[in-house]
Structure 1
Amino acid sequence: MPPSRQISHVPLPDGFDPDLANADLLPVPPEKRDWSWINMATVWMGMVHNIVVYEAASGLMALGFSAWQSLGVVAVAYGVLFLAMWFNARPGTKYGIPFCVLIRSSFGPTGAQLPVLLRGFCAVFWFSVQSYAAAQAVDAIMSTLSATWAGWTVAFLGMQIKTWLAMAIVWTLHGWITSHGVHRIRNFELIAGPLVILAGLTATIWALRVGHGLGPLFSQPSKLHGAAFWNAFALGVTGMIGMWATFAVNIPDLSRFVRTQRDQVVGQAIGLPLTALIFTPMGIITTSATILMFGRPIWNPVELLLALNHPVITVLGGLTILLATLSVNVVANIMPAAYDLINLAPRRLDFIKAGRLVLALGVLFVPWLWFDRADGIYRILTIISSLLGPVTGVMLADYYVVRRQNIAVDDLYRRDGRYAGARGWGHGGVSAMLIGGAVAASGFVIPALAPVSALSWFVGVVIGGGVYIALARGRRAVADGTSAAVT
């Protein structure tokens, strides 16, 4: 296809392969990197406040942790995530490039498609599940406001007609927010993040009044002691990291728009671990109040709204859930999936077209079959951790150890550049990812290695990064030996 017919309508620099670049994949010029630490913080605030994170405390307490121990698990998990995202975000801010381009330095332009496809699959999956949660909230709102809506209970393809309509509303809202690209997303998050915090604080104040304090969940003792505690602690931390393991690899998709390294680290510190440590007790306190009101804990926010059975609360609470879901989905799921799709077909897709394709693919993931199967979702989280941990390890090892924080950016857009490797398969990234993933996931197949799977993300990072460094040094030794022989 001639350059004039490229989807970006922007001339590419000399030597850039049109199958590897378009306007959305090119480096963001320094003068256009206008995100401050406030933007980065509000983006994370919007992402951390979602139904899956809200319900995560219930999963930890189901393992036997006390409420205070659950907060300890959250603190450790998000502390580790912050460090991983801080370091992995740095090249994005330095060079203004997205994840799908940065990863070519370790995987090559062809090999990079493997982790990109894996990340894209995860993004579409979570977009689908989160959107279905928002559709339930919309259904609750509309059923409260309209008896006609509530009566549309005829099923079609495994779901009621009214739920299909609710999904259509949610999908349309996602499409509107992403219809003007990254800048509209930034402005939306600037409003949505703080609003969701305000709504959460309101619910917490209500719960404190109902429970006359922190409530019964905070007085529940731990059921874990000794080795059982530490095993569960490792599993809990890994599971929490699994919720964001996908974003640990593609954080450059956001950091490429940030003005300085200071802005990205301060914004992430405020928006990620700090917000998580505030939001998690909100969920525990609110759920404590449900024990006093209904005799059982209700962790699902939509179920809680229906149980309260108050029109005003249902509408306002449902709108809050919808806002929170839109906030996390557009940044954590649609945005990375769109870049990943652009990376597959830069001649045909730009950000807006790719975003629409994500919306369509989300329906094909049939989220109504997944949402009520928590055990399956958590198993997928653990598997994702074991596969994406090695990718994170390879990226960190490549940038900080092998490349020493220096990348020839132009070569990332060429199939004959220094990062091409053998026929586009890079310099060991694929091998390191597969070996690290196999070791991290070994406990799912071999019962005796179950403790390895409890730490799958950590094992994957260490093994993936270590193998990649070993392969890089091996190639360097061979190259040095060849040079000496020739001399």
Structure 2
Amino acid sequence: MGVNWAHWKKKLECPKDEDAYYENTTWCNRDLIPIPPERRTFGVWSYFGYWTVSGSCISAWSTGSTLLAFGLSPQQAIGVVILGGFLTGLLAVACGWMGEVHHIGFTVASRFSWGMRGSYFPVILRIFVSCMWFGMQAFWGGQATRVMFGAIIPGLAHMPNYFSESSHLMTNDFIGLVIWMCLFVPGVLIRPEKLQIPFVICFFFFAGTCIGCLAWSVSQAGGAGKMFTEPGSTPNVGWSFMFGITAILGAWGAGTLGQSDWTRYASRRFAPTLSQLVAAPITIAITAIIGIIVTSAARDVLGGDVIWNPIYLLAAIQEHYSSSSRARAGVFFASLGCVSSQFSISVVLNSVSCGMDMAGICPKYINIRRGGYIMAAIGIATQPWQLLSTATKFLSVLSGFGVFMAPATGVMLADYHIVRKAKLKVNELYIGDSSSIYWFRQGFNWRAFAAFTIGMWPLLPGLVGTVNAYEGPSWTGWVRLYNLTFLVGVAMSFVSFWALSYFFPVSGLGLEAPFVEDGVIHGATETTENDSQAGEKQPPMEVSDKV
């Protein structure tokens, strides 16, 4: 008896809601449609919770304290994180506007700028960045798990390493990573609209870690520590300051670019705006400042080098007090905050957004959940422990992301806010043939690719010079331009796209239409390649009056 491949192919398709008013097609599934009113569950406080998770995390702590290792003084580093957090909030508002208004995420929004087929490029680009970022977050989560269990079982903390030194991976870290991944996998099953409670729980756990570490370090050192009053060691404060801002914007760049992935769940207009303008910069800045103070004070208490990662700091505290029961209890609860923070940020900021991007690649068979699992496999395969082996390399990696995220951000902002003036025919974002105004030429908008290239290419030589530590007059200018990655990349691609759209205007500007129009769902049917080339589409699917 032969295998019924058609039956199993149908079984593998993404599930649909009961009484669904859409079909799983090349361009559409449950996670890609504009969010219907019953799923818009995020209010003002929900978005404050979102930004406490996004801004109050190990990444924010480490970004601020790593600036000390890069040569900035504590006061200069604080200035960097405050300004960087404020700019992050502004970008979040601008990038999230289409989610509030049209209730679509980044994956679908890319189609009106890049073309229906061209949208695969920014989506794949963000998938790559998300997978890399998840790998880093998962590795930190594994280390935090190792420290937490090492507080209960001191033998785990002192386990001999059976891996080679060049791998930058310890055996106990690997064990912690396996345990953390076992905790993460079920978290992907939580639907995005149901994540408000996990926001709050994880924030309070990590806030307790920050306050506890701050209280311990300041009380033991008798203040913020000697390093807090020392001048910076960098020879050029101005460019180092800008490099720090670039690192912060690069770290949160992918999140701000895809901010509409979350603002589309807004229960009313402007619900996300206050948290983006207030909670985003405050939580990023406060967490980083706490990290800077603790790093400075802990050096006086523990002696030795600057410990810029809170997980390493907790392990060092346990060693400093010879694994006493009191120290192990404190380290356990502090590590619990780090574990929960990594869990929440990986589910909220990586799994959901990357899962939706992967759903955009193959909507029939990939949804947010399935995409989250694919992201997890790829993220671990990138060997993030190699990227995070030193503080300097960590900053270089974060800044390197901005080379590609910044031009993509500039293209989207120019097209949506300036060229289209926030007006979209949402129904035609789900039509994969030439009858859609977003089909452009063969499914590609060449203006977006040109503007992206213009915004990206000047930054590549500086990226190469920075990562490879090239020196000399011939590299100085390129490296300094690269230090302004996000600002330069956004500005150049923004202006370029605006100019190209002015001299080579596209059709359909000023037109608006909803996803559901006159009882008809547009984009709900599959189109074949022949239909696409001929510019024909199947009749739309009618729906009941209740939709």
Tell me what 1:130 maps to: 137
Aligned with residue 122 of structure 2, among 90, 103, 115: 115
> Which letter maps to 1:363?
I
Tell me what 2:451 maps to: 432
Asked if 2 retains the 8 angstrom alpha-carbon contact of 1:105 and 1:419, the reply is yes
Tell me what 1:460 maps to: 489
For residues 33-48 of structure 1, what are the structure 2 equivalents within 5 Å? 33-48=40-55
Change (3 A) 1:149 1:304: closer
Tell me what 1:485 maps to: none
Tell me what 2:268 maps to: 260
Deviations 1:89-110 (A, max 9, x none): 0101111111010111100121
Tell me what 2:462 maps to: 443
- Cα distance, 1:194 vs. partner? 3.2
Tell me what 2:242 maps to: 234
Size of the aligned set, in residue pairs, is 477
Aligned with residue 301 of structure 1, among 287, 310, 329: 310
Q: Does 1:87 find its partner at 2:104? A: no
| Alpha-carbon distance between aligned partners in 2 of 1:379 and 1:463, rounded to the nearest angstrom | 22
Deviations 1:414-465 (A, max 9, x none): 1231111111112521221122111233434662333211111111111111
- Cα distance, 1:165 vs. partner? 3.0
| Alpha-carbon distance between aligned partners in 2 of 1:93 and 1:479, rounded to the nearest angstrom | 22
Q: Does 1:97 find its partner at 2:104? A: yes
Asked if 2 retains the 8 angstrom alpha-carbon contact of 1:177 and 1:184, the reply is no
Q: Does 1:215 find its partner at 2:230? A: no
| Alpha-carbon distance between aligned partners in 2 of 1:24 and 1:121, rounded to the nearest angstrom | 20
Stretch deviating more after TM superposition (132-141 or 437-446): 437-446
For residues 271-286 of structure 1, what are the structure 2 equivalents within 5 Å? 271-286=279-294
Asked if 1 retains the 8 angstrom alpha-carbon contact of 2:147 and 2:335, the reply is yes
> Which letter maps to 1:237?
I
Q: Does 1:205 find its partner at 2:212? A: no
Deviations 1:368-408 (A, max 9, x none): 32221433332222221121111111111011111111111
| Alpha-carbon distance between aligned partners in 2 of 1:477 and 1:260, rounded to the nearest angstrom | 31
Change (3 A) 1:449 1:304: closer
For residues 69-468 of structure 1, what are the structure 2 equivalents within 5 Å? 69-146=76-153, 149=156, 153=160, 155=162, 159=169, 161-223=171-233, 228-296=236-304, 297-309=306-318, 310-416=327-433, 417-426=436-445, 428-444=447-463, 447=475, 448-468=477-497
- Cα distance, 1:330 vs. partner? 1.3
Asked if 1 retains the 8 angstrom alpha-carbon contact of 2:387 and 2:394, the reply is yes
**Structure 2: which 5+ residue stretches go unaligned?**
1-5, 319-326, 465-473, 510-547
What percent of counterpart residues are identical?
24
Asked if 2 retains the 8 angstrom alpha-carbon contact of 1:17 and 1:414, the reply is no
Indicate the structure (1 or 2) with the bigger Cα radius of gyration: 2
TM-score normalised by L of structure 1: 0.91
| Alpha-carbon distance between aligned partners in 2 of 1:34 and 1:479, rounded to the nearest angstrom | 32
| Alpha-carbon distance between aligned partners in 2 of 1:238 and 1:386, rounded to the nearest angstrom | 10
Change (3 A) 1:37 1:427: farther
For residues 472-483 of structure 1, what are the structure 2 equivalents within 5 Å? 472-476=501-505
| Alpha-carbon distance between aligned partners in 1 of 2:82 and 2:137, rounded to the nearest angstrom | 24
- Cα distance, 1:22 vs. partner? 0.3
Asked if 2 retains the 8 angstrom alpha-carbon contact of 1:19 and 1:346, the reply is yes
| Alpha-carbon distance between aligned partners in 2 of 1:469 and 1:453, rounded to the nearest angstrom | 23
Change (3 A) 1:444 1:311: closer
- Cα distance, 1:270 vs. partner? 3.3
1:110 alignment partner, SS class: coil
1:60 alignment partner, SS class: helix
Stretch deviating more after TM superposition (297-306 or 338-347): 297-306
| Alpha-carbon distance between aligned partners in 1 of 2:271 and 2:191, rounded to the nearest angstrom | 22
- Cα distance, 1:315 vs. partner? 1.0
> Which letter maps to 2:291?
G
**Structure 1: which 5+ residue stretches go unaligned?**
481-487
Change (3 A) 1:477 1:89: closer
> Which letter maps to 2:337?
T
| Alpha-carbon distance between aligned partners in 2 of 1:147 and 1:131, rounded to the nearest angstrom | 22
Asked if 2 retains the 8 angstrom alpha-carbon contact of 1:441 and 1:456, the reply is no
> Which letter maps to 2:384?
P
Change (3 A) 1:126 1:51: same
| Alpha-carbon distance between aligned partners in 2 of 1:361 and 1:391, rounded to the nearest angstrom | 22
| Alpha-carbon distance between aligned partners in 2 of 1:452 and 1:34, rounded to the nearest angstrom | 42
Asked if 1 retains the 8 angstrom alpha-carbon contact of 2:27 and 2:430, the reply is yes
TM-score normalised by L of structure 2: 0.81
| Alpha-carbon distance between aligned partners in 1 of 2:126 and 2:153, rounded to the nearest angstrom | 40
1:424 alignment partner, SS class: coil
